């Protein structure tokens, strides 16, 4: 999986999953623009990549605005002459229930995740289309965006919206041979270390202990490095025929998420559906197929 000659921008790559993605892309030969809002964090990430033999520079800017997006693309072009891969990873959390969530908490998450993914992708694909050699856009979703999660109105909306944009962009950019995919990672990061049922596994990883098979396979939970191979694959020529997909990764688990689709269909007899008619047909045709919300996680072994 040789990415030599490729140039990648990875947003939010100073630490955690983003750093793992940037490190793996550089290890495979890509030149990488690392991004973070803290200069010291970004510089440390660049140092770790270059000390391992990779090529990287830092661009310190908060993702969200069009200006920030253009700065990232411009830095890739000025330093390395082109742009081939964009990984939209930058994100924040502002968790609280809907009745307590403020406008500021909602807007902050939407701006970074959803608007940031849009502005960075727009700037990147303008450059990729000008180059005329295709490209790769990899966006980061979440299980929360797929099935919801208590206390994460803003985050769920942003991540669901990202996957929706991915499907649209895959169609719009097909002629330019730019693939667009979403990954749905689960790993030990600052975003997951506060989840109570994951804490024992986070603690184990931090202590350098191996995770049990239940965590790595049934929960699909592991280190950030466990998720990085998928990004390198989707960035490579081997993934040229893959676009518009949402792919889950975590621990030892690799999964393809389905697109939303109708699960039950009934037809009226030409008069449409009245409320009474729906009430009559619902228990017989629909009730047994209602969809769950939230992640349906297995119980750990006793």
Residue-wise pLDDT for 201-252, tens only, equals: 988 998 999 999 999 999 999 999 999 999 999 999 999 999 999 999 999 9
Q: What is the pLDDT of residue 196?
A: 78
Q: Where residue 116 sits, what CATH number does that domain have?
A: 3.40.50.720
Predicted confidence band at 293 (pLDDT cuts at 50, 70, 90)? very high
In a domain, 272, yes or no: no
In a domain, 42, yes or no: yes
Angle at 86 between CA 85 and CA 87, to 5 degrees: 120
Number of Cβ within a 10 Å radius of residue 5: 12
66-81 per-position pLDDT tens digit: 999 999 999 999 999 9
Which residues fall within 8 angstroms of residue 130, CB to CB, at 6 or more apart? none
Q: What is the pLDDT of residue 194?
A: 73
In a domain, 114, yes or no: yes
In a domain, 262, yes or no: no
Q: What is the pLDDT of residue 164?
A: 98
Q: What is the pLDDT of residue 134?
A: 98
In a domain, 210, yes or no: yes
Q: How far apart are CA 57 and CA 46, in angstroms?
A: 6
| Whether the predicted pLDDT of 299 surpasses 90 | no
CB 42 within 8 A of CB 22: no
| Whether the predicted pLDDT of 253 surpasses 90 | yes
Range of the domain at 45: 7-257
Q: What is the pLDDT of residue 249?
A: 98
156-198 per-position pLDDT tens digit: 999 999 999 999 999 999 999 999 999 999 998 877 777 777 8
Q: What is the pLDDT of residue 190?
A: 73
In a domain, 104, yes or no: yes
The DSSP line for 6-65 is -EEEETT-SSHHHHHHHHHHHHTT-EEEEEESSHHHHHHHHHHHHHTT-EEEEEE--BTB
Q: What is the pLDDT of residue 250?
A: 97
What does the DSSP 8-state code read for residue 152?
B
In a domain, 183, yes or no: yes
The pTM of the full predicted model, rounded to 2 decimals, is: 0.95
Catalytically annotated residues: 142, 155, 159
In a domain, 40, yes or no: yes
17-37 per-position pLDDT tens digit: 999 999 999 999 999 999 999
> Mean pLDDT throughout 26-55?
98
Q: Which residues pair with 246 in a beta bridge?
A: 182, 257
Query: How many structural domains are present in the chain?
Result: 1
Predicted confidence band at 12 (pLDDT cuts at 50, 70, 90)? very high
Predicted confidence band at 302 (pLDDT cuts at 50, 70, 90)? confident
100-151 per-position pLDDT tens digit: 999 999 999 999 999 999 999 999 999 999 999 999 999 999 999 999 999 9
Q: What is the pLDDT of residue 172?
A: 98
268-285 per-position pLDDT tens digit: 999 999 999 999 999 999
> Mean pLDDT throughout 290-301?
89
């Amino acid at each position: 999986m040789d990415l030599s000659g490729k140039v990648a921008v990875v947003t939010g790559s100073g630490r955690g999953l983003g750093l793992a993605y940037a490190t793996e892309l550089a290890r495979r030969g890509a030149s990488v623009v690392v991004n973070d809002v803290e200069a010291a964090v970004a510089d440390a990430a660049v140092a770790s990549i270059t000390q391992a033999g990779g090529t990287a520079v830092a661009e310190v800017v908060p993702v969200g605005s069009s200006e920030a997006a253009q700065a990232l693309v411009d830095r890739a072009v000025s330093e390395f002459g082109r742009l081939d891969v964009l990984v939209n990873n930058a994100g924040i959390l502002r968790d609280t229930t809907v009745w307590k969530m403020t406008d500021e908490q909602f807007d902050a998450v939407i701006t970074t995740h959803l608007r940031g993914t849009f502005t960075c992708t727009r700037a990147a694909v303008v450059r990729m289309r000008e180059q005329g050699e295709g490209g790769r856009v990899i966006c980061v979703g979440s299980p929360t965006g797929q099935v919801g999660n208590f206390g994460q109105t803003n985050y769920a909306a942003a991540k669901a919206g990202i996957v929706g944009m991915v499907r649209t962009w895959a169609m719009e950019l097909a002629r330019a041979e730019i693939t667009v995919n979403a990954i749905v990672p689960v790993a030990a990061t600052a975003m997951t270390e506060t989840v109570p049922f994951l804490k024992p596994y986070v603690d184990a990883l931090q202590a350098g202990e191996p995770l049990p098979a239940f965590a790595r396979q049934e929960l699909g939970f592991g280190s950030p490095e466990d998720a990085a191979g998928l990004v390198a694959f989707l960035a490579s020529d081997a993934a040229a025929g893959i676009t518009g997909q949402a792919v889950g990764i975590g621990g030892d688990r690799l999964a393809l998420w389905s697109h939303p689709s109708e699960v039950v269909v009934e037809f009226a007899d030409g008069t449409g559906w009245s409320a009474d008619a729906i009430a009559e047909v619902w228990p017989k045709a629909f009730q047994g197929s209602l969809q769950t919300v939230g992640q349906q996680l297995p119980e750990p072994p006793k």
